[in-house]
Structure 1
Amino acid sequence: MRVNEVIFVWVIRVLVLPACAMEIALERDFELQGYMFEASTEQLRTPRTVRVGLIQNRIVLPTDAPVLDQITALHKRIGEMVDVAAMCGVNIVCFQEAWTMPFAFCTREKEPWTEFAESAEEGYTTRFCQELAKKYNMVVISPILEREEVHNVLWNTAVVVSNSGSVLGKTRKNHIPRVGDFNESTYYMEGNTGHKVFQTQFGKIAVNICYGRHHPLNWFMYSMNGAEIIFNPSATVGGLSEPMWSIEARNAAIANHCFTCGINRVGTEHFNNEFTSGDGKKAHQDFGYFYGSSYVAAPDGSRSPGLSRTRDGLLVTEMDLNLSRQISDKWSFKMTGRYEEYAEELTRATKQDFKPNIIKE
């Protein structure tokens, strides 16, 4: 360590998980970690404890396997991991972005990738998640490629299934990247569902899909609508976003007095046909490696260690939601926020005749 360099480390308690769960995870070749976020004991409120599970994984079959075979293989793999999550007492589980398919959107080929699109309300994957939810009394967050049947439009969507097994609702990706390989507007555009928050038996949750994590106001609006836990299911590769990954969700947890959960897939996905990117690279057949590293951050600035950069994994975290109000009472970011002033200035900034407020000599 250099002179005058100080490193601040939060001590996070390890959550002891059942030995049988650890054995099954080892047998099925995925990492299993558990951690606890505690809050101070209060006189008038009992702890509001919830267990959250984050699942990161690689695709199971090659990208040129039949579409239904790929979907079925991923259902089987994720089902096995959810079985272990249930053994660990998980109340809410979240999968990675577009979990039922390769992240093929940047190839700009329509076929066969659009065939992975499903109805958010009645699709094959949603029915699969409903069965898991009912079986385990667990809220399931399922990010998929959605086909809206009425207008035959595709969306990048997260379906929220209640622990009762009913579809509580869906939320669509608010921000679409146009960076390097990641130019996804060939398939879908910015979402139209706003900043929905879902009231579940285990707390109020929101889903900030992938690229939305780069936009502080996106996190902020979910928080303003009451989210206590904001999930960020993603698919992002090393060399592009890894330096920012460990910072963004953590900053959002601090700024918004809530818990945040970053989930990223792992592995490298190879495609038969070469494609070019927007940054001048030569034609290539993969995006590089998805670096995993899924983690949970708390409003006090603490965070869990991340899962592996290379292996499938399940991260189980137990959190006391009382911590959010305790930290809010201490720092009062929302109470001291000048939102009316921001709203007025942002409104002016969106006008064609906007002039920056710069004072010159």
Structure 2
Amino acid sequence: MNKLQKLLKEKGTLLADGATGTNLIPMGLDSGQAPEAWNFDHVDRIQKLHQSFIDAGSDIVVTNSFGGTARRLHLHDLQDRVVEINRAAAEIAGDLVAKSGREIVVAGSVGPTGDLLAPLGELTYAGAVEAFEEQMTGLKEGGADVAWIETMSSPDEIDAAIEAANKVGLDYVATASFDTAGNTMMGLSPAAFAQQMAGKNPRPQAFGSNCGVGASDLLVAAIDMVANADGLPVVAKANAGIPKIAGDKVVYSGSPELMADYVKLAMNLGVSIIGGCCGNSPEHVKAMAEAMRAHNGGDAPTAEEIIETLGPLVSPKSSKKSDRSNRRRRRG
């Protein structure tokens, strides 16, 4: 039994951490700069962020390696340091976890390559597997407990990342981003994603959704994932509301109090791993931890009840009527 399985068995519901990128920006990360470079250039700032989430109560800390494939690092002339960068990302988180006195999972973040797979793009499936395998080699060398495959939209790219994890010998978690009328950008639905994950061999340690367009949209997607999970733990790592421009800054509409309500709803749905993505600060995670500790259970909410509590869907499913209208406009 690995650490993630052990903690799930002991606690039932685990608290993941909050955002990486949106918290590094006020710490000095410039637009266009690679966050992964801070694993060398500003180790103290990455340590500070991880520690803040550990102090807030997180059971899972996600490494600073989201864009850690050569396909993305070449944009910053770092493609020759893939293994080194990812090893450092896992080591930074792992060192803090070791000092925490608690059992905490180090989740090695693996984001999309940023390229479209053939036939839509030039990246072959084998090339994607190779890119992910190189990244995960570094994460495993650094001591990551699990490959945290996140913010995915393409079924083929998800499969490539899973194959890489299997080759490297890392257990994996996979989360998709349902940000396009309830589906991923590539048309994958929450129910279909759940069914695909339940059919994998080996199966993921957990699966679910992260990022997307808001907490309401993510939890509505989670209804179908839980219903089709076939016993697998489900992950919900939602954005703190939606982003808005305030002067020269981007701020998120979701308060810590709203994210505490989100935790209660997610627990009532049967979600096993709950955390935050973009816009979620340590204060948000602390509020989520307090809500998780205080929660006494309740009935599974309907989509309407989720929307009533957390706000309207940002990207609602299209109605048949509007679909017909769109088809008419396209034909015209």
Normalising by the smaller structure, the TM-score range is 0.3 to 0.5
Query: Hey, which of these two has a bigger chunk of helix by percent?
Result: 2
> Which is higher, the Rg of structure 1 or of structure 2?
1
Query: Hey, which of these two has a bigger chunk of strand by percent?
Result: 1
Return the structure number with greater relative CO, CA threshold 8 A, min gap 6.
Answer: 1
Normalised by the length of structure 2, the TM-score is 0.47
